[in-house]
Amino acid sequence: MKIYKLTNIKALVFLALIMAVLTGCDKKKERVYELLPPDPETEKDLTELAINMTVSIENSGGANAGEGSRKLIDNDLDSKFLIFSFDPTFYIQLEYDIAERLDAYTLTSANDADGRDPKNWKILASNDKATWTELDNQTNQAFDARRKTVRYEFTNSEKFKYYRFAISELKGGTSGLFQLAEWRVIRRPQQ
């Protein structure tokens, strides 16, 4: 009888192969993965769940232009939405296919001309676009830097299908150019 000397690594590989054959590793076992429900204690950015975003005044090049309204929710702080004819009735609106509860949002200032930044605004919510509930009201706001993100929180326990960011005045007044790099909406854990 011949005795073969195997190095430690070769011996381990050899033993692993023998164990695999003896334990029936060729049998396929079905794996079941359970999906956990969303954690209500986790904050969630709901911007991407919106099925539609509309603005009351669009960029002259359209929503998909280099500075069109789609830039508001593209999650890119280096892009921006710009309009040349701001009016105090201007708004940006998100629509959801099912009602969502939001209670926070962020705004990111664009790259230039701080007079174009929003100064006074309201966050409104509705389920029918006829009756609106005011969730937040901000006045005399100012970004102290370009491409700066500022977070706002408010109390809200209700779900709505429509959320409107209604801007009534810019840092530079009630007419002229408006710009914003990003608007994100957030659901915080319920207290």
- Model confidence at 21, pLDDT cuts 50, 70, 90, reads low
- Model confidence at 7, pLDDT cuts 50, 70, 90, reads low
User: Are 101 and 158 within 8 A, CB to CB?
Assistant: yes
Q: How far apart are CA 127 and CA 158, in angstroms?
A: 10
Question: DSSP characters for 38-51?
Answer: PPTTS-EE-GGG-S
- Model confidence at 37, pLDDT cuts 50, 70, 90, reads low
Q: Which tens digits make up the pLDDT trace of 62-120?
A: 999 999 999 999 999 999 999 999 999 999 999 999 999 999 999 999 999 999 999 99
The percent of residues above 70 in pLDDT, for the chain, comes to 78
Q: What share of the chain is helix, strand, coil (3-state, %, to 5)?
A: 15, 35, 50
pLDDT (mean) for 172-178:
93
Domains of the chain, start order = 44-187 (2.60.120.260)
Instruction: Please check the confidence at residue 2 and state whether its pLDDT lies above 90.
Output: no
The pTM of this model reads 0.78
Token pair recorded at residue 96: 């959801």
Task: Give residue 33's pLDDT.
Answer: 47
DSSP three-state, residue 9: helix
Q: How far apart are CA 189 and CA 191, in angstroms?
A: 6
